[in-house]
Amino acid sequence: MNYTSQKSLTYNPSLTRNIGNKALTIASALFAIISVLPLILVISYVLIKGGSYINLDTLILEPEPPGDDLLSAGGIGPAITGTFIMSVIASIISIPVGVGGGIYLAEYSKSGKFAKFIRFGSNVLAGVPSIIAGVFIYAIIVSSKILFGSMFSGIAGGISLSILMVPTIIKTTDEALKLVPNDMRRAAFGVGASKFTMITNITLPAAFSSISTGVLLALARAAGETAPLIFTALFSRYYITSFDDLFYEMGSLSVLIYNFALEPYEAQNQLAWAASFILVVVLLSLNILSRWIGTLGAFTKNKV
């Protein structure tokens, strides 16, 4: 009896179910490799091709007008600076709005009709093509010259990017606050804390890592967008030298890649590859940082 039971529990690779299980496992692994392979190839090619054109002059100089002389290509410094400035503008606008909206949905709304409408609107906005945000800001701000009479500007570019960041931040904040145990809220109320005090001192710190992850992912998406900036910030070859320059055209890495990749000159094509390298490195860094923060938050919660 014992021998029969032990024999029935022994793994038999010749059984049909075991053969099928192994075949499906191999097929799943193969499909997973195929799905990731294009990403690996694209990133590897950009890093190798663009990395060969990276040097100090490329990173700090202004791009020169198109021409055949490889020595006069200039660099991508203004585009790097412009991408950073517009990302900061977008973050200043979207983080308070997104985090505040998520706090309202998780802590105040009680899952009412208005909260369902906000969640539905955020999901829809997250799926709207980025070019729509650019066209919207173009119609509202650029064509109307509402910003002190200026048209294309870095401010308008930052506002268009903030539209793309807000739904991601709202959703991640909402979900992060929902994961905070209600016992922590009851304990805060039990010692006489107000709701505002409970949110600022208990739930927000507890959900900080998850919210930070959402903010970084939203920023990574916005920093790599091209279409909204073509309609709002356009492009400039020059550095920002004063606050007033924010109300004029501003360069960015994504638009520089779009413009210079279409040029018939090798010098500008090389700058496009260099800008692609910088942009890919920035996006990879933001995504890795967001994963690290999320992992660190999960480790801290488990330790507590």
pLDDT beyond 90 at 191: no
* Residue 48 is assigned to a structural domain of this protein: no
pLDDT tens digits, one per residue of 92-130: 999 999 999 999 998 888 777 888 888 898 889 888 889
Per-residue three-class SS string for 258-292: HHHHCCCCHHHHHHHHHHHHHHHHHHHHHHHHHHH
* Residue 190 is assigned to a structural domain of this protein: yes
Per DSSP, helices labelled H in 108-207 are 113-127, 130-137, 154-178, 182-190, 195-198, 204-206
**Which domain covers residue 126, as residue numbers?**
58-303
- What local confidence, expressed as pLDDT, does residue 33 receive? 93
* Residue 147 is assigned to a structural domain of this protein: yes
Domain count, the chain: 1
Mean pLDDT of the chain: 87
* Residue 39 is assigned to a structural domain of this protein: no
- What local confidence, expressed as pLDDT, does residue 44 receive? 92
* Residue 42 is assigned to a structural domain of this protein: no
* Residue 133 is assigned to a structural domain of this protein: yes
pLDDT beyond 60 at 200: yes
pTM here?
0.85
Number of Cα atoms under 13 Å in the Cβ half of residue 196 = 0
Using DSSP, state whether 51 is helix, strand or coil: helix
- What local confidence, expressed as pLDDT, does residue 272 receive? 92
Query: Which is higher by pLDDT, 14 or 139?
Result: 139
* Residue 40 is assigned to a structural domain of this protein: no
* Residue 226 is assigned to a structural domain of this protein: yes
Q: What average pLDDT does this structure show over 51-61?
A: 89
pLDDT beyond 70 at 302: no
pLDDT beyond 90 at 4: no
Report the length, in residues, of the chain: 304
